[in-house]
Structure 1
């Protein structure tokens, strides 16, 4: 194939994509059938099918059982703020962001002990199979699922202390920095690594999306010096949210 020339299925998908972007195929409109695409573009059934698959993979259309394929409504992405640590009312960073009355944020959480997997042990700089407290969160803004977060804290740090359960006790719901300070552990730096991957079925179901759609994943680890005291995976739907960083310049 000459350089720059696209396969037929990509040319068809590109034309249909442009019609969706231009509004000629409006949200909730049924996509032309496979037979109609074949006739309109003079292509084979295989090409028509592959073009529809491309649009589905891009999240522009969705299949409805027994009904057909329809154009998805593309909502304007909303921002999820990430900022340098602020000590405001002893709240965690997410709670600080959700405290704004315009946001109307809620969350639910569940904690349980488990043995650290090799990957989590490496992030926490502990031995595999050491005990950790895992806490899973589901955050919502104005009732809409916004993000999932799973955090792990080594029980060698928090075990048998008042802050062993992040959401319970005298400091339940407070941020990692305040909770660790209560047991004389001074958190002085945090590392965040941002990546993307296809969403797992369980994740996208909880977030109200479609399995396989891209998720932003933030791997965050809090340190007291070189000692890791908490690590977490923050998962955000990439098609509906943007992560915004506001960091001071020193």
Structure 2
């Protein structure tokens, strides 16, 4: 018996009905999605419509294809929080704590720094000329052995060059965070601006974060200021389906 639908395009109607079955548990995690032939027969649609419906569910992250096996329902992760908050002068000020303000969560990080010339976007964020040299540092943050976030930061070498803090993860203040490092240059970080957005994840990002191609990521773009001067800007990246950005802001 064919399933009757309303006025939506056929492939969206099929996708919507299959989505409801997944959400309701009729198609539980790791269950095989009905084959293209089965969808065609059950819903009275063409092979093209059946294929497009499956593509919708894959784009939404509800199902995944397994080479030579078929399409299966994905187990949906329970989102965890990445807590954002103001800088605290007391206690731990490591890069991990700088990005994750929830004291109940501990973690480690790897970092790699390299000099490069600032492109238009980074130059604008740092208030410098396009082509000026910056120190780019890429971070991989882990908690309980799992990669939880990626971050790339940029600092103007006109500010940190030829100083003991030129490399964020080397020297006398290695791993202490941007606030402490800038204090060594007599710069007081007094303001932080953040913007949060979402976009399709780049292949290398999704792979590093344990996702699958097509997953979206949330990006927190953050800039530290000292007396109105940008001293560091960074992009913090997490998988959108696994994390929620939570803010703790003081009331003054």
When the two structures are superposed, what TM-score results if normalisation uses the length of structure 2?
0.94
In the alignment, is residue 56 of structure 1 matched against residue 58 of structure 2? yes
- When the two structures are aligned, how many residues end up with a matched partner? 246
Cα displacement (A) at 1:89: 2.7
Cα deviation code 1:29-58 (max 9, x no counterpart): 111100000001111111100100000000
Query: Which residue is equivalent to 1:103?
Result: 105
Cα displacement (A) at 1:114: 0.8
1:136 to 128, 134, 138: 138
Task: State how far apart, in whole Å, the 2-side matches of 1:60 and 1:158 are.
Answer: 46
Cα displacement (A) at 1:90: 5.0
Contact 2:12–2:53 (Cα < 8 Å) also in 1: yes
Contact 2:29–2:75 (Cα < 8 Å) also in 1: yes
Q: Deviating runs (4+, > 4 A) in structure 1?
A: 96-100
In the alignment, is residue 127 of structure 1 matched against residue 145 of structure 2? no
Cα displacement (A) at 1:75: 1.3
Kindly report the root-mean-square deviation, in angstroms, between the aligned alpha carbons of the 2 structures. Answer: 1.5
Instruction: Report 1:1-250 matches (<5 A).
Output: 5-89=7-91, 91-92=93-94, 94-95=96-97, 97=100, 100=103, 103-250=105-252
Cα displacement (A) at 1:226: 2.1
Contact 2:147–2:209 (Cα < 8 Å) also in 1: yes
Q: 1:219 to 1:242 in 2, by over 3 A?
A: same
- Runs of 5+ unmatched residues, structure 1: none
Cα displacement (A) at 1:185: 1.0
Cα displacement (A) at 1:188: 1.0
Contact 2:155–2:233 (Cα < 8 Å) also in 1: yes
Q: 1:99 to 1:218 in 2, by over 3 A?
A: closer
Contact 1:90–1:175 (Cα < 8 Å) also in 2: no
Contact 1:149–1:235 (Cα < 8 Å) also in 2: yes
Contact 1:86–1:93 (Cα < 8 Å) also in 2: no
Task: State how far apart, in whole Å, the 2-side matches of 1:87 and 1:61 are.
Answer: 45
Contact 1:85–1:93 (Cα < 8 Å) also in 2: no
